[in-house]
Amino acid sequence: MKKFVTILFLVVIVTGIISATSLDFMMMSGSGAREFAKEAVKLFKEETGIDVNVEFTSWNEGWTKLMAMVASGEGPDVTQVGTTWVGALQATGAFENLTGDVAYFGGSDDFLGGPWSTTGYDNKVYALPWFADIRALVYRKDLMEKYDLPNPPQTWGDLLYASMVLKEKGEIEYPVGLRGRGNGHYVGSFLWQNNTDIISEDGEEVILDSEKAFESVKFWADMLGEYELMSPSLAEMGHDEICVSFFNGDVAFMYPGPWFVLKVESEISESWLENDKVGVALQPGKNRDLRTGFVGGSDLMISASSDKKEAAKKWIKFLLEPEIQALIAEKMFVSPTVKVAYEEPFFGEEPYAEMWTSFKEIGNAGSHYPIHPAWGAMERFVPEIIVDVFSAHANGTLNDAKIRSLLEQYDKELQNALDSYK
């Protein structure tokens, strides 16, 4: 009996130790994610003695897993989430309110403004910005100089003119590369670049049926249909294929994040940057005052049901340290959210130094979809607009009337999703 009690006691102690020093973290897979996680977990363990079990998932599966977690109340202690998910996840009540802990993580002033705006709604903080996905205009600087074109294109007119010249000169048949499926995020960017949005300022009404929204969608739809500046095969492409096309010389303008350099062999991207063939700039606006682009990225949230909240907060604080922000930028080519991180030596390394400086500036002028509890249910409709425009083009039915009817249809769908929260 004595022996049994001793063994039981030991088991309880060992289990307690294991659970106290082990943390579950769900991370989205992507280029360099595993290398980063391996190194970060090792450093964190050395610093705190806490072990982190990283579970990788894809962006597509991530949401389903989060829903299962919300439904069951069981899941990882810390989760990486898309910035556009924060509002909906906050509304589920399944995540920890971190408003009182902001000072522990360095305070709001330590973060870039754009990413900080994604931390929650109603002045509450439920998510900490981990890294930013800043979408810039990445373009062929050498071709702009060769043909004396606006460098960089600052307005829609500049972009259209430069693309037409490149096409006319026989340089590139389809100079503009905007993805035709998945989360292109440019639907939002073109709206913001025309001083409008998807939801009205009071958050009550969807305004996709407005004249400005029509102008915005018509602009990029015309680059596909009317002016043939975008290839119909973009309908089958994601960012990877477009970035490869860019470095193959088949695309002159695209809207990616800093990770575009990872999509080809580093020798190629580095040589292009060294030879000043690539320019990185804030996306053009309808006029110069309206230049902006999508800034999203990833935030970190703690499960409300976690029994290791203190360890979870330590892990998040660790991930926000400047050296770790530099490490993730080095492995995944994503932008830090913590201002001071840009002073790390990595961001001064050539040939990337100028690119990082540009992305930091662009991040400050970026825009984001609303952090609204209903946005999660609305977000999915946005890329469907892209699919429908490309489909209409393939069917030969893309015209102004079609664009208007699509926007009316999505206005209704989105309003319905918005109302579902009320």
Partner 1 sequence: MASINSKSKSFAYRMVLPAILLSIIVHFLPTIWGVIISFRKLNVYYISDWTKAPFVGFANYERAMSSLGSVFWTSLGYTTIFVVLSVIGCFLLGILGAILLNKDFKGRNLIRGLLLIPFILPGVVSLTNIRFMLLRDWGIVNSLLMQIGIIDEPISWLTGRMALFTIIIGNIWIRWPLWFITILGGLQSIPGELYEAAKVDGATRWQTFKKITLPSISPVITILTVLTALWSFNNFNVPFILTGGSPSDAANILSLNIWIRSFRNWDFGMGAAMSVVMMLFMLILIMTYLRLSKLEEA
Query: Which positions from 376 through 395 interact with partner 1, judged by CB under 8 A?
Result: 376-377, 380-381, 383-384, 387-388, 390-395
What mask, x for binding partner 1 by CB under 8 A, covers residues 334 to 373? ---------------------------------------x
- Taking the complex as a whole, the smallest distance from the CB of residue 232 to partner 1 amounts, in Å, to 5
Query: Applying CB under 8 A, does 264 fall inside the site for partner 1?
Result: no
CA 238 to chain centre: 14
Query: Applying CB under 8 A, does 124 fall inside the site for partner 1?
Result: no
Return the number of the residue (238 or 322) whose C-beta is nearest partner 1: 238
Query: Applying CB under 8 A, does 123 fall inside the site for partner 1?
Result: no
Return the number of the residue (99 or 420) whose C-beta is nearest partner 1: 420
Return the number of the residue (102 or 377) whose C-beta is nearest partner 1: 377
Query: Applying CB under 8 A, does 63 fall inside the site for partner 1?
Result: yes
- From 29-37, 227-235, 315-323, 330-338, span contacting partner 1 (CB under 8 A): 227-235
Compute how many other C-beta atoms are within 10 angstroms of the C-beta atom of residue 171: 15
Which of 67, 164, 165, 264 is the binder for partner 1 (CB under 8 A)?
Answer: 67
Query: Applying CB under 8 A, does 44 fall inside the site for partner 1?
Result: no
Compute how many other C-beta atoms are within 10 angstroms of the C-beta atom of residue 288: 10
Taking the CA atoms of 98, 101, 102 and 104 in sequence, report the sign of the dihedral they define: negative
Pairing verdict, β 278-281 and 51-57: unpaired
Query: Applying CB under 8 A, does 181 fall inside the site for partner 1?
Result: yes
Q: How many residues bind partner 1 (CB under 8 A)?
A: 41
Query: Applying CB under 8 A, does 247 fall inside the site for partner 1?
Result: no
Which of 178, 235, 278, 329 is the binder for partner 1 (CB under 8 A)?
Answer: 235
Compute how many other C-beta atoms are within 10 angstroms of the C-beta atom of residue 161: 14
Query: Applying CB under 8 A, does 60 fall inside the site for partner 1?
Result: yes
- Taking the complex as a whole, the smallest distance from the CB of residue 73 to partner 1 amounts, in Å, to 7
Query: Applying CB under 8 A, does 75 fall inside the site for partner 1?
Result: no
**Number of residues written out for the chain:** 422
**CB-based contact 250:174 (threshold 8 Å):** yes
Mention every residue, 6+ apart, whose C-beta is less than 8 A from residue 193: 156, 216, 283, 284, 285, 286, 290, 291, 292, 293
Return the number of the residue (296 or 373) whose C-beta is nearest partner 1: 373
Query: Contacts from 30-37 at CB under 8 Å and sequence distance 24+?
Result: 30/59, 30/332, 31/259, 31/262, 31/263, 31/332, 31/333, 32/262, 32/331, 32/332, 32/333, 33/331, 33/332, 35/331, 36/327, 36/328, 36/331, 36/332
Compute how many other C-beta atoms are within 10 angstroms of the C-beta atom of residue 301: 28
Which residues lie near partner 1 (CB under 8 A)? 60, 63-64, 67, 70-71, 73, 88, 91-94, 180-182, 231-233, 235-236, 373, 376-377, 380-381, 383-384, 387-388, 390-395, 412-413, 416-417, 420-421
